[in-house]
C-alpha cells in the first residue's frame, strides 16, 4: 500500500465518519467554554462525538481527557484528535471515583417515537419522547464515577425542559448553578455546573 492509498483510505473513512458523527455546533462551543473555565483533574466527556470539546479541554487546560461515545465512529474520531476515545454506553465501564470532571452534551431533542429514524444521527440528537431519556440514567449514575469534590457540566436546552432537568438534578443529590447560557431563535442553551449537595 502506498502513502497515497493510505491517505485516500483515511479521507474516505473520514467522509463516512463525518456523516454519522455529530460535528461541533453552538452547543459544543458552549460546553467547551464552561469546561475550559471549570474543569479540573481527570476529565471524562460522555458522548464526545467528534472529540472537539474534549480536545479543547486538553489543549487549553493541559488536562487528561477521556472521550466516550456509544458510536464507534465517534470514538475513532476522538482518537484521531489525540483524545483517548472509548466506546461506552453512558458511564457503564468506568470505575467509582474515576473522574474529577464529567461533561455531557446529551442527545436532547424531544422526538416522536413514530418519527424515529434509527441511525447514529438519531442517537446523537434524540432524547426520546421527553428529550430527557439519556439525561435521567446519566444523572442516576454520574455520582458513582465522580470524585468527592468533582463537578459535572451538563448542557441543557429549553426544548428539553429546564425545570424538569433541575428536578432530576436535585433528585440525584446535586446542586446546580448555570455556568454559561446563550439564547438562539428556537432555544436557550445552558451549561449547568453540578456539585454534590
Ligand atoms: C449532541 S451530540 C454531542 C457531541 C459532542 N459532545 C459535541 O458537543 O459536539 C451527543 C453525543 O452523545 C452520543 N450518545 C448517544 N447515546 C449515548 C450513550 N448511550 N452513551 C454514550 N454516548 C451516547 C452520540 O453518539 C453523540 O455523539
pLDDT in tens, 85-103: 999 999 999 999 999 999 9
Which H or E run contains 76?
helix 72-80
Which residue ranges have their beta carbon within 6 Å of ligand 1? 22, 24, 27-28, 31, 46-50, 52-53, 69-71, 74, 88-90, 105, 107, 123-124, 134
Rounded to whole angstroms, the Cα distance separating 174 from 98 reads 18
Collapsing DSSP states into helix, strand and coil, what is residue 102? strand
Percent of the chain at pLDDT exceeding 90: 82
Domains in the chain with CATH codes: 19-196 (3.40.50.150)
Tens of pLDDT, residues 35-75 = 999 999 999 999 999 999 999 999 999 999 999 999 999 99
The answer to whether the beta carbons of residues 134 and 125 sit under 8 Å apart is: no
Average pLDDT, the chain: 91
pTM of the model: 0.92
Q: What is the structure's pLDDT at 10?
A: 39
How many C-beta atoms surround the C-beta of residue 64 within 10 A? 14
Q: What is the structure's pLDDT at 47?
A: 98
Amino acid at each position: 500500500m502506498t502513502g497515497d492509498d493510505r491517505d485516500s483510505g483515511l479521507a474516505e473513512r473520514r467522509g463516512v465518519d463525518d456523516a454519522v458523527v455529530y460535528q461541533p455546533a453552538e452547543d459544543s462551543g458552549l460546553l467547551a467554554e464552561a469546561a475550559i473555565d471549570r474543569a479540573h483533574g481527570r476529565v471524562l466527556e460522555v458522548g464526545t462525538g467528534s472529540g472537539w470539546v474534549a480536545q479543547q479541554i486538553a489543549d487549553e487546560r493541559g488536562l487528561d481527557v477521556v472521550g466516550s461515545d456509544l458510536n464507534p465512529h465517534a470514538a475513532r474520531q476522538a482518537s484521531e484528535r489525540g483524545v483517548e476515545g472509548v466506546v461506552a454506553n453512558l458511564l457503564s465501564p468506568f470505575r467509582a471515583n474515576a473522574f474529577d470532571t464529567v461533561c455531557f452534551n446529551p442527545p436532547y431533542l424531544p422526538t416522536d417515537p413514530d418519527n424515529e429514524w434509527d441511525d447514529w444521527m438519531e442517537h446523537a440528537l434524540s432524547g426520546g419522547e421527553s428529550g430527557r431519556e439519556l439525561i435521567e440514567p446519566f444523572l442516576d449514575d454520574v455520582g458513582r464515577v465522580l470524585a468527592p469534590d468533582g463537578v459535572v457540566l451538563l448542557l441543557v436546552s429549553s426544548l428539553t425542559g429546564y425545570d424538569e432537568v433541575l428536578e432530576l438534578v436535585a433528585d440525584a443529590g446535586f446542586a446546580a448553578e448555570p455556568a454559561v447560557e446563550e439564547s438562539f431563535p428556537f432555544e436557550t442553551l445552558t451549561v449547568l455546573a453540578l456539585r454534590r449537595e
